[in-house]
Amino acid sequence: MTTILAVESSCDETAAAVVDAPSSIRSSVVSSQVDLHVEYGGVVPELAGRAHLERLVPVVRLALDQADLALGPAAPVDVVAATRGPGLIGSLLVGASGAKALSLAWGVPFVGVNHLEGHLFAALLDHPDVSWPLVVVLVSGGHTLIVSMEAPGRYRRLGSTVDDAAGEAFDKVARYLGLGYPGGPAIERAAVTGDPTTLAFTRPMLDDGLDLSFSGLKTAVVHAVRARPDVANEDVAASFQQTVVDVLVTKAMRAVAQVGAAGVCLAGGVAANGPLRTALQAAAASAGLPAYLPSRAMCTDNAAMIAAAGAWQLQHLGPSGLDVAVDPALPLEFVA
């Protein structure tokens, strides 16, 4: 059995996890920096990098402690992994450099992992025995991709956003409504008591292939609120959320039909959204297919998903050299 320590620091969460490969999570520690960035309404890269520096060692120590391992001169794990991109350069550097230092000191291999591939592996942690291909809808703060996962490591690009990411739309609409940061959970909370039929937003690009668009919807929310200032925030939030859910579920099921998928998956922070989870599960059930939803903690940024992707990568592609660079724009590699 291979035991892997992984570090994730691509954005505003300092995270470390210990996983027995392929999918047994022994610990997963996430230190969120929301408190630091909340007054700015978004992530401030300089503050994020500095906070990672302060938190990395305590977070790694805690992850090892919780797995009954110790941070010391002797190697407590067989391999160390870290996110090497995409993300904020200063943040990535802190986690990847720390992980490389541990790998060097302990004499164990280092694996640099693509953050997006980590998100794709998150569902496999909870559901190790899936059938392929899977359609994965990866919806995070920075990315919105519909992917056919033909097997681990084999991804076919089916669609992506032509403008804003889905999470970015949640964050911007929440900020406009004064609901706070991060926007996704704030919108979801407000929408609980709202009526999703109050405002009829056009479902962007609904009839149009598998690409998505969210920037027009954000503008439509602004126009609707200006035209109808009497409408409660809760109703705006619910109407907006329902629109995003309808679009994502329609596109996901269209992708499933197109590739003849054996199942459908959600990944990324927006996949923590309750109404999205319920709607996708219902659509998959009516199509007679399984929906694999990562637990909410595995949807948002965490290091267990990086460990899962890292363990697979080590086994099939080998370790990365310690000279592998972090890359803020690291793309997910697709098969032709």
Which residues in the 237-266 window bind ligand KG4 by CB under 6 A? Answer: none
196 near ligand KG4, rule: CB under 6 A: no
42 near ligand KG4, rule: CB under 6 A: no
Question: Of 113 and 190, which CB lies nearer to Zn ion in the complex structure?
Answer: 113
117 near Zn ion, rule: CB under 5 A: no
Which residues in the 260-319 window bind Zn ion by CB under 5 A? Answer: 301
300 near ligand KG4, rule: CB under 6 A: yes
User: Alpha-carbon distance 270 to 170, whole Å?
Assistant: 9
Strands (E), 140-193: 144-151, 154-160
Rg (CA), the chain: 20
Choose the stretch contacting Zn ion; rule: CB under 5 A; options: 76-84, 133-141, 276-284, 324-332: 133-141
Question: Of 86 and 152, which CB lies nearer to ligand KG4 in the complex structure?
Answer: 86
188 near Zn ion, rule: CB under 5 A: no
Site string for ligand KG4, 136-155 (x = CB under 6 A): ----xxx-------------
- Tell me the residue type at 101: A
Partner whose binding site includes residue 171, from Zn ion, ligand KG4, none (CB under 5 to 8 Å by kind): ligand KG4
Q: Which residues contact 177 (CB under 8 A, 6 or more apart)?
A: 187, 190, 225, 233, 236, 237
- Nearest of 235, 135, 139, 171 to residue 40 by alpha carbon: 171
One DSSP character per residue, 104-135 reads HHHT--EEEEEHHHHHHHHHHHH-TT--S-EE
CA distances from 193 to 17, 101, 187, 235 (A): 36, 49, 11, 8
Alpha-helical runs (H) found in 178-264: 183-191, 215-227, 233-259
User: Alpha-carbon distance 307 to 324, whole Å?
Assistant: 17
DSSP 161: B
Number of residues that bind ligand KG4 (CB under 6 A): 19
Least Å from the CB of residue 108 to ligand KG4: 27
Least Å from the CB of residue 231 to Zn ion: 32
11 near ligand KG4, rule: CB under 6 A: yes
Structure tokens at 296: 């909410």
Structure tokens at 13: 């969460």
188 near ligand KG4, rule: CB under 6 A: yes
Closest residue by beta carbon to ligand KG4: 184
Question: Of 12 and 235, which CB lies nearer to ligand KG4 in the complex structure?
Answer: 12
Q: Give strand pairing partners of 238.
A: none
Which residues in the 166-185 window bind ligand KG4 by CB under 6 A? Answer: 167, 170-171, 182-185
Site string for Zn ion, 135-154 (x = CB under 5 A): -----x--------------
Binding site for Zn ion (CB under 5 A): 140, 301
Binding site for ligand KG4 (CB under 6 A): 11, 140-142, 167, 170-171, 182-185, 188, 268-270, 272-273, 300-301
